[in-house]
Chain A
Amino acid sequence: MTPEEKNTISVDGELVDLRNRTLAALLAWLLPGAGHFYQGRMTKAAIFFICIMSTWIFGFAVGGSHVVYSSWEPGDKRWHYYLQAGAGVISFPAYIQGRRMNDATDSFTGYTKSNYEPLWNGFMAPPVRPVIESEADQVAAWYAQRGAGYEMGTWYTVIAGLLNILVIYDAYGGPLSVPISGRKKEESVTEDSEQTSE
C-alpha cells in the first residue's frame, strides 16, 4: 500500500486524499478550514472558515473584546480560554498577554505591578489583579459595560473553539461516523434520489 493509498478514504461514494494528516490537523487548528483547504476539500474549508470565524468574531465583539483572555489566578480561573483557543491562532494574543501579566504580577501580594503596560492597547489582556469575587474590579466593570453580551460573547467564542475540535478531527481522520438512526434515514434518502434519477 502506497502512502497515497493509505491516506485515501472513501466517503459518500467519493475518494478523499487526506494528504499529510498531521499537517492537515495542525493547519485546521491554526486556522479553521485551512486543513481542508490544504487537502483540496474546498467547500468544507469554506463552510468551516466562515461558520467558526464568524461565530468567534461575533462573540468577541458582543463581549466588548474582553471575553478572550488567559488567566489562572485565584478568583479568576479563566478556563474558558482553553476552549476558545480551539479556534487557533486568533486567540494567540491572549496567551502572550497572559504571560506578560504573569510576569507583572507580584507573587507575594497577587497585585499587578504599577509599571505594567499591556501590549496592543490592552487587546486580549487579562484584567488587572487582584480579581476578587463580589468586588468592583476590572472584570466587574466589563460585565457592567456589556451586560448579558459579556456572557453571550464568552459562550459564542467557547462554542466556536469547541466546533473547531470536530473540524480538526475531520481533517485528520475524515468525517465522523453517522449515528445508526441518522444513517438509516440518509440511506433511504440516497436510495430515493438514486431511484428518481434512474
Chain B
Amino acid sequence: MTLSALKSIIHHRDQAGQNMLSISPTYMLYYLPLIVTVALVFGATRHENTTLVLNHAWQTAKWITGFMGVIFVVLYIIGLLT
C-alpha cells in the first residue's frame, strides 16, 4: 500500500468520523432525562412492587441504551466504509 493510498484512507475515515459526530456531544445530554423517564414509566406500568419497578426500569434502560449503541456502531462502521 502506497503512502498516498494510506493518507487517502485516513482522510476518508476522518471525514466519516466528523460526519457521524457533526453535532456537539452535549446533545447527548438530552438522552439522560429521557431514558430515566421512559424506563421508570415502563417499569411502573408493569409492576406494583417498588423494588420490581426499579429492577424493571434498570433492565429497560440497559436494553434501550444497548440497542441504540449497536445502531450507532453499525452506522459508524457504514460511515467509515463508504
Contact = CB atoms under 8 A, between A and B. Distances in A.
- Would you call the interface of chain B mostly helix, strand, loop, or mixed? helix
Contacts, number: 71
B24 to A, nearest CB: 9
Interface string B24-58: 00010010011011101110111111101101100
B48 A167 contact: no
- Would you call the interface of chain A mostly helix, strand, loop, or mixed? helix
A54 B41 CA distance: 13
Interface string B52-81: 110110010000000000000000000000
What band does the interface of chain B fall in when counting residues whose beta carbon is under 8 Å from A? Answer: 20 to 34
Contact of B37 (A16, A55, A148, A186): A55
Contacts of B42: 166
A152 B30 contact: yes
A52 B56 CA distance: 18
Interface of B: 23, 27, 30, 33-34, 36-38, 40-42, 44-50, 52-53, 55-56, 59
5 contacts: A12-B52, A16-B48, A44-B53, A51-B40, A55-B37
